[in-house]
Amino acid sequence: MTTTPWFAYEGTDLFRINGSTAYTYKTSHVSLDADGSPRAYHPQDTGLDYLANAGYPHKGWKSVLVVDPAHPDQPYIQPGGPHQGYFVAKTSLADPALPATDPRKYVDSETIPYIVFPGAFYAISGTGGYGDLVFARKLGTALESAAIVADGGPAKAPLGEMSLRLAIALGGHNPNPRNGHGAPGGTFQYLVFPRSRSAPPWRRSLTDIEASVAALLAAIGGWPAI
């Protein structure tokens, strides 16, 4: 399997996998996304990430935090359960069968390996969408992981934003989205499979994601063919 240069996005070169809709790129940029975790943000700013990164209390928080149906000017606070008192942090990929206030609707950054598409990248035809599958590896090591495209980021952000679970799979140690400490370092290669999402695109188990990615990877000849 051979590749063909496709285009460059924010300094990262992308390559099409010939005979496939898949494409690949390499980057050393890493940023951490806690969104989807039921303990991502707390009203007292004691969550995994800073409230400021969710745009709260200033403008912008409604794109990250679930709105309280009874008080539309406030984020919804979990009324019970193991994460009582935390806000509900959304991901762009969500289960259509569950209400917006249910944390299970979203892709948990702590349990599911996922990557984030910057807004401008998402808008480019052929890059894929939320629910599409991914395989990632840290070059020069045996570290690798299946993943899913689960969230959207700032329009002009570089590629390389990932969930906490993916960060750990690729060599991170106690990754901290507040300051980036513990994020994996090195160069990472991603293989994205557009149009590989399920119907509905979420919810899926990690076992299902891994099996589906393994089949997609085998169909193009595996990593040695890239």
Q: From first to last of its 226 residues, what are the pLDDT tens digits of the chain?
A: 689 999 999 999 999 999 999 999 999 999 999 999 999 999 999 999 999 999 999 889 999 999 999 999 999 999 999 999 999 999 999 999 999 999 999 999 999 999 999 999 999 999 999 999 999 999 999 999 999 999 999 999 999 999 999 999 999 999 999 999 999 999 999 999 999 999 999 999 999 999 999 999 999 988 765 6
DSSP 103: G
Q: What is residue 99's predicted lDDT score, i.e. its pLDDT? A: 98
DSSP H helical ranges for 29-138: 119-122
Instruction: Compute the distance between CA of residue 66 and CA of residue 77 in angstroms, rounded to an integer.
Output: 9
Q: How far apart are CA 155 and CA 103, in angstroms?
A: 25
DSSP 8-state assignment for residue 122: H
**Structure token digits, residue 166:** 């993916």
Asked if omega into 200 is within 30° of 0 (cis), the reply is yes
Q: Residue type at 119? A: G
Q: What is the pLDDT of residue 222?
A: 84
CB within 8 Å of 224: residues ≥ 6 apart: none
Please give the pLDDT value at position 223: 75
Rounded CA-CA distance 94/30 in Å is 23
pLDDT score for 198: 95
